[in-house]
Amino acid sequence: MSQTLQSVRGMNDILPDEAEFWELFEDTVRSWLKSYGYRPIRMPIVEPTPLFKRAIGEVTDIVEKEMYSFEDSLNGEQLTLRPEGTAGCVRAVIQHNLAAQQPRRLYYIGQMFRHERPQKGRYRQFHQVGVESFGFTGPDIDAEMILMGARLWADLGLDGIELQINSLGQPDERAQHRAALIAYFEERAELLDEDAKRRLYTNPLRILDTKNPAMQEMCAAAPKLIDYLGPESLAHFEGVQRVLRDAGVPFTINPRLVRGLDYYNLTVFEWVTDKLGAQGTVCAGGRYDGLVEQLGGKSTPACGFAMGVERLVALIRESGGEPAAPAPDVYLVHQGDDASRLAFRVAEGLRDQGIDVLLHCGGGSFKSQMKKADASGATFAVIIGDDEAATGEAQLKPLREGSGEQKKMKVDGLAEAIIGQLIDLEEEE
Ligand code: ATP
Ligand code: MG
């Protein structure tokens, strides 16, 4: 026997019970986005590798070691499965000149790929909801994007997700801080791990983002970027905080919040829970005013965030959220040639009236079909045998308490009878 094939490590199937949960989650997310004026955009999953190198930065975890990159065997082009959505979204905005006339609010939901060590809350294929805005300069949009998070957690029935914010200032302010940071780390070179040593002169800010416990204390005492911000950057940061305070959204300023991607400036933020172990960040983002120009577009201010769907779904489950498994209104039981032909017609006719029908497929006795009808959770069984078929009739059998008595009736009257009783049931609930 040949070996059975398995999914790729860290890339999961999402089975129907789970997938239904995901769809409910996505419904909530879509109506939430719509209520803030965001419109969908769908980008390819594969992009040219140089896009990510330029957007995310060469000296980042993602580009150094997490990308699934390959050569197109037909034309030799270097391609990568997207590790995040912002780069592709910016590329699309530039390519289609989307932000030229008016500011844009855009979102996407989809797979991302990173070659990481799989563990709870960290996968090689995972999903993000990405939200991006283009063409807004002021702190108002940053603040609104943060407020959006607070509303979504409420819509999803989640609490205890804490907000951390920071400001990364502008490139010249970062340059001054960077010099101070390098000097600080040079004096403590014996405490640096391999990653940190490698990044010392390329990307010292990222050393602060380390997960190495041995370096935490040293990083906590390192020079803080906020002390290097000029008046404009500080005013922007203050503007964001004012909206948050007005809205009553609590936050903490975390000076070590630097984000794993190079493109951010000014506001950065993360929403973090302590209920998911080490992988507690469920949403992260910030401003990235330089990226559009850096990727060849006309200078356009921008701001965005991404949420990890797996982590949020896990959190909803953790908090006891469980959607009811959807059941059909009708399970259609039929036996005999004439009965089966009529059953197809009846099923389509009921669906025309908006009734959900599970048509029994695969034959079998009435008894075994009725067992399946019960197990389906349907409100009614509609039963058609050749006797019924001969007279154009069917049995309507309620399967749940309170949905009435079994009746024989003309098939033309079924929809009305079913809808009437469904309405009665709904009123009782
Ligand atoms: P982390 O520090 O956890 O590695 P990150 O800074 O790499 O996160 P982002 O690139 O900001 O993450 O992605 C935004 C969100 O996407 C994260 O906050 C998280 O919820 C989710 N996410 C990132 N990587 C993964 C992954 N490998 N598996 C599942 N979710 C992920
Ligand atoms: Mg990461």
Give per-residue pLDDT as tens, 359-402.
999 999 999 999 999 999 999 999 999 999 999 999 999 998 76
Angle at 362 between CA 357 and CA 368, to 5 degrees: 85
Q: Return the CATH number of the domain spanning residue range 16-169+229-318.
A: 3.30.930.10
The confidence score (pLDDT) of residue 367 equals 95
Task: Assess whether pLDDT exceeds 70 at residue 322.
Answer: no
Residue nearest (by alpha carbon) to ligand 1 atom 7: 260
What integer is the mean pLDDT of 107-129?
97
d(CA 296, CA 293) in angstroms, rounded, equals 5
What integer is the mean pLDDT of 250-273?
88
**Percentage, residues of the chain above pLDDT 70:** 98
For the Cβ of 126 lying below 6 angstroms from any atom of ligand 1, the answer is yes
Q: CB atoms < 10 A from the CB of 58, how many?
A: 12
pTM: 0.87
What integer is the mean pLDDT of 172-196?
91
Task: Assess whether pLDDT exceeds 80 at residue 172.
Answer: yes
The confidence score (pLDDT) of residue 403 equals 65
Task: Assess whether pLDDT exceeds 90 at residue 429.
Answer: no
Ligand 1 mean position, distance from CA 391 (Å): 62
Ligand 1 mean position, distance from CA 334 (Å): 51
For the Cβ of 84 lying below 6 angstroms from any atom of ligand 1, the answer is yes
CATH 3.40.50.800, applies to 330-420: yes
Ligand 2 mean position, distance from CA 14 (Å): 22
Higher-pLDDT residue of 205, 406: 406
The confidence score (pLDDT) of residue 401 equals 77
- Containing H/E element for 204? none
**Percentage, residues of the chain above pLDDT 90:** 79
The confidence score (pLDDT) of residue 264 equals 87
Task: Assess whether pLDDT exceeds 80 at residue 259.
Answer: no
pLDDT digits (tens, 9 = 90+) for 212-227: 899 989 998 999 988 9
Ligand 2 mean position, distance from CA 310 (Å): 14
Biggest alpha carbon–alpha carbon distance for the chain: 94
Q: How far is CA 269 from CA 75, 143, 427, in A?
A: 41, 10, 45
For the Cβ of 209 lying below 6 angstroms from any atom of ligand 1, the answer is no
For the Cβ of 311 lying below 6 angstroms from any atom of ligand 1, the answer is yes
What integer is the mean pLDDT of 88-115?
96
For the Cβ of 282 lying below 6 angstroms from any atom of ligand 1, the answer is yes
Name 130's bridge partners: 108, 306
What integer is the mean pLDDT of 149-165?
94
Name the residue of 84, 279, 283, 316 whose CB sits within 8 Å of the most ligand 1 atoms, as the mutation to test its pocket.
279
C-alpha R_g of the chain: 28
The confidence score (pLDDT) of residue 260 equals 63
Query: What are the boundaries of each domain within the chain?
Result: 16-169+229-318, 330-420
Sheet bearing 252-253, strands edge to edge: 39-40, 104-113, 125-134, 302-308, 281-287, 265-272, 162-167, 252-253
pLDDT digits (tens, 9 = 90+) for 44-63: 999 999 999 999 988 888 99
